[in-house]
Structure formats: C-alpha cells, structure tokens
A and B are shown apart, each in its own frame.
Chain A
C-alpha cells in the first residue's frame, strides 16, 4: 500500500512562489499523482495531475522526477485565497480491477499578507 508524506504546514507571503513536496516511495508503475485543494468545510477539489516529468495548467505546475518517488506542487505568486489544505493522492491497485485511493495528511498552506 503506497503511503504519501507531506509537510504538515507551510507559510508564505503573498506574491511568492510556493513549492509543496510529497513523497510516495512505493508508487506503482501505473499510478498517477494527483493534487487536490481543500478550503475549510468544503470537499477537496482537483488542482493538477501528472504521471512523469512536468505538467502545467492555469493554476499550478507539477514536477515529477524520473524515479517518481516524489512530486512537487508549485503555486506561482500565491494570494490570500490560496490559503487551504493541499493533498497529494496516489492510487494503489489492490488487485485486478480494484483500486483503493490513499490521500496524504495534507499540507496546510497559510498565505500571509
């Protein structure tokens, strides 16, 4: 069963770039890496997903090294509205046609004015 490890919390000033790293040493060959954002009292929502190398969308970038044992979510020029908990998700196949999903404990990002 894959386990993910993230920093518990991070602080950043507005306008700075924030990088959050997730470790997933036991990632399987077919697993994708997905990041979700969660605001208080709301369900998580999708931010970005990747399999290898680098992925970029309008919200964030995701960097995945060749060994895929970690990934880094990069948020450019954060604002106060980016204050949230960020989860790294790695899927794990538990058998033919069956997938259990494991979230990390999340990283609480606090953006300071």
Chain B
C-alpha cells in the first residue's frame, strides 16, 4: 500500500531534549516536506527536499533541522525543543517538485514540549 508513515504519532517531551520525528514513504517520491499545523494558522511548511542531499527552508524553519540521506526517509530533528514548537506535524511526499503533483500526507505527529 502506498503510504507516508511517521513516528512517533504522539510525543511529550521537555524543553531542550533533542528529538527526531521520522518520516518514510514507499512511493519512490523525490519531493518530501514537513509542515506544522497550529490553530488558526493552517499548514506552514518547515523544510522541503527536492531529492537526496537537497533540502531547503520553508516558511518556518527556525529551530528545526532535516536530512535526506535516502530517498525514502526525511527525518525532522529538533535539537533543543521549546514550548512554542508544540504543534501537530505532518510529513508529505510527491512524485516531483512540481506543484502539479499530488502531495501525500502522513498521519501526523502530535508533539508537546513542556
């Protein structure tokens, strides 16, 4: 089954404790991205990746890191989480970087930073 998976689905952590949210897709997609969703603000893109070893900032990249060492995986790293990073995070992938290609979203990761 074609899908985007994220782990963990729920995470509660404390300020400053490094964490990684994993994202994997099995569709051989080139384009992957991370979004955060906050009430009243909609979906905001954090980082995106055109292909392996190619990443770029989205609208809200501060406090986040990403890597794309393999085509299928695109982990989101919070080196020193802070309470303002409490949010619902979605990973997405698409066949290419063209906006004409459908974005496939993962189920989401709800992160709480205390």
Q: Which of the candidate stretches B12-20, B37-45, B67-75, B77-85 sits at the interface with the other chain?
A: B37-45
How many A-B pairs fall under 8 Å by CB?
73
B-side contacts of A100, CB under 8 Å: 45, 48, 56, 58-59
Please tell me if the beta carbons of B99 and A91 are within 8 angstroms of each other in the complex: yes
> Interface residues of A: mostly helix, strand, loop or mixed?
strand
Q: How far is the CA of A41 from the CA of B4 in the complex (A)?
A: 15
Asked if B42 and A101 sit within 8 Å, CB to CB, the answer is: no
Q: In the assembly, what is the distance between CA of A28 and CA of B45, in Å?
A: 19
Do the beta carbons of B43 and A99 come within 8 Å of each other?
no
Q: Which of B56, B103, B107 contacts A46 (CB 8 A)?
A: B103
Within 8 A of A (CB), among B19-70: 31, 33, 35, 40-45, 48, 50, 56, 58-59
Bound Cα distance from A100 to B45, whole angstroms: 8
Known contacts A98-B56, A98-B97; is-contact A42 B108 (Cβ 8 Å): yes
Residue B76 is within 8 A (CB to CB) of chain A in the complex: no
How close is B108's CB to chain A, nearest CB, in angstroms?
A: 6
Task: Say yes or no: is A89 at the interface (Cβ < 8 Å to chain B).
Answer: yes
Report, nearest first, the 8 A-B pairs whose CB atoms are least far apart. A91-B99, A43-B105, A105-B42, A103-B43, A32-B100, A46-B102, A99-B97, A106-B42
Identify A101's interface contact among B45, B106, B107, CB under 8 A: B45
Please give the distance in Å from A45's CB to the nearest CB on chain B.
7
Closest to A105 in B: B42
A12 within 8 A of partner (CB): no
Please state if A49 and B48 are interface contacts (CB–CB under 8 Å): no
Residue B98 interfacial (CB < 8 Å): yes
Q: Within residues 62 to 113 of chain A, which ones have a CB less than 8 A from any CB in chain B?
A: 87, 89-91, 94, 97-106
Q: Are A99 and B107 in contact (CB under 8 A)?
A: no
* C-alpha spacing A34/B98, complex, angstroms: 12
